[in-house]
Structures are given as structure tokens and as C-alpha cells.
Structure 1
Amino acid sequence: MARELRVPRVLAALPAPIRWLALPVALTCTVVVLLGSWSAPERIQVPEPAAKAAGYCRNLATALPQELLGHARKDPSPASPYVAAWASSPRIVLRCGVDRPEALNGEAAKDYSPTVDDVTWWPQKLDDGGYRFTSTMRKAYVEVTVPGGASGNPFDPVAALSAAVKANIP
């Protein structure tokens, strides 16, 4: 004997065509939400330093830690000796051999720039509440981007990376 399916009261009150479409519409909406929540891989612009700076950056790349403030190193693909990242959400990114920021030529250069282990970092506040730090007075510019929420204190990653920058980039 065939068993009759019971329709919940909420759906039984709806006209038949709407009841028939309820499940496909719900599944379609679920798929759209899931696909929308998966983000495309983050694109990080790889610097193209001059030959001398490139050598310093390659040395720095080998000296960088495999773990930064509890986050494992997970470099973007394709791999480059000029870019390093640590897997946090959002992630901390170091780029070596970047161009000198134009803003350093103006009034912004007079803003507070902390020095850690003899490396001076010029901070820029980002729209997401994080910071971008660029090393100054070195033979190659190093940029560390700390998005909002990546670290309790946005200066901590810079402090942890300063010794490696000092040792490898004069």
C-alpha cells in the first residue's frame, strides 16, 4: 500500500503551483548564497625590484619565519621570492622590492614612523581598519600589510619581522 505524503500546514495553505516551486527555489537560493560566500583567490601584485634590491629581497625571503604570531606561512601562488603571506583570515602579506610610496615625498612623511630593531616603518591606515607599513631608509623597500582583524595590535607583525629585515636589507 502506498503511503501518502503529508504536506506541512504552512505549505498546504499555499496554492499548488507555489508549493511545487518552494523546494527548487529554496535549493537555488542556498546554492547562490554558498557560491557568493566563496571568494576568488586573493590577487597580490608581485613587485619587480631592480637587480640589487632583488638580491636583498631573495635573502630576506629565506630568512622569513614559517610562523608569524601563531599563523602558518602560506605564500600565494605562483610563488615569488618577493611576496610572503601568513595564513590568517584576513592574512598578513609582506612584499619586498616595492616602489617608494609617493606619499613619502609630501607632508605624510612627517607623520609618526615607529622604529623597531633599527628599522623605521612608515604606517598608512587602510579603509578596513588595518595598516600598511613600508620600511624606509633601506636599500629595498619592504611593505607589510596588516588588514583589520589580522592581529590584535597591527604593529605586532612589523615588530616580529623587523629583525629579518634589518639582517637582510641594509
Structure 2
Amino acid sequence: MSLRFTRWTACACALLTLAGCGSTVRVDPPTPEGAAAAGCRALGERLPQKLDGVSRVESTPASPYVVVWGEGEIALRCGVSRPATMTATQEVPEINGVAWFSDPARPLLFTAIGREAYVEVTISRRHTPENVLVDLSAPIKAALP
């Protein structure tokens, strides 16, 4: 093999890894404790294998607090910190009994609030957030009082 081909292959592999196009998607897991950790583990078991037409994929590092669908198109992290920009008096829409905070500065990020643990969901522009949040609300309600 030529040095040029080897370099091109190494660059292509690196770009695929960074883009999340491989079979595993990199997501930094949160570190919930106590009841929040137990609830997040229960949530992971209740989440669907398919969400808005895309299948679950592996994430790295492996964590019971992270679930990813569609090569990173939708990523859920359970046990995250309270959203820093959320105020105590802020009105938040409710979808099927779950309140969802949306930070205007980060329009693709939604956080389920008012539960045993905060659940953060990032949704790519390929998906309709309302569809995804409707499908996630029932498992969140069941696993996180």
C-alpha cells in the first residue's frame, strides 16, 4: 500500500468516528446517584428499540444512563444536572404528563423536568421534536416519578 492511501484511509476513519457514522456513537454519560441512578437504569430498560423511525445504536463509553438512536440523531442522557438557564417561574410545556424545558439558545435540546432525575434529549433536525417527546414521555413517567 502506498503512504498516500494509508494516510487517506486513516483520515477517512477519523472523520467517520468524529461524525458518529460508525456503529458506535460517542456520548458523555452523566453520573446520577441514589434514587436518580436507579430511576435512570429503569428508564433505560423501558425505552423503545425504535424511535421516530430510527433504531437504537451503541454508545461509547457504555452507560446505563445513555441511549442513542439512529447514529446519534437522537440521544438521551438520564441524570443530568438541572438546566442552568431554567428559572423557577418559567412556564414549560407538558407533553403526556411530562414537562419539557427547551432552552431557546439550544433549540435541539430538551430536558424533562420535575422528575426524580432530569432527562436530556438531543434531537437532530431530521426529526420532529414533538413526535420524539411524545414517544419518550410514557417511559419517563413510568420510570421516574
Q: Could you state the TM-score of these two structures normalised by the residue count of structure 2?
A: 0.80
Task: Kindly report which structure 2 residues correspond to 1:141-152, keeping only aligned pairs within 5 A, or say none.
Answer: 141-149=118-126, 151=127
The change in CA–CA distance for 1:104 and 1:79 in structure 2 (over 3 A counts) is same
Specify which structure has the higher proportion of strand: 2
Q: Which amino acid aligns with 1:132?
A: L
2:95 counterpart residue number = 116
Q: Which amino acid aligns with 2:124?
A: P
Q: Which structure would you say has the larger Rg?
A: 1
Distance of 1:71 and 1:82 partners within structure 2: 19
Query: How far off is 1:116 after superposition?
Result: 1.2
Distance of 1:67 and 1:169 partners within structure 2: 21
| Pick aligned residue for 2:60 from 77, 80, 83 | 77
Moved over 2 A (4+): 26-43, 124-127
1:38 counterpart residue number = 16
Task: Kindly report which structure 2 residues correspond to 1:1-170, keeping only aligned pairs within 5 A, or say none.
Answer: 34=12, 37-40=15-18, 41=20, 42-88=25-71, 90-105=72-87, 110=90, 113-125=92-104, 131-149=108-126, 151=127, 153-170=128-145
Q: List gaps (5 residues or longer) in structure 1.
A: 1-23
Q: Could you state the TM-score of these two structures normalised by the residue count of structure 1?
A: 0.69
Larger RCO (CA under 8 A, 6+ residues apart):
2
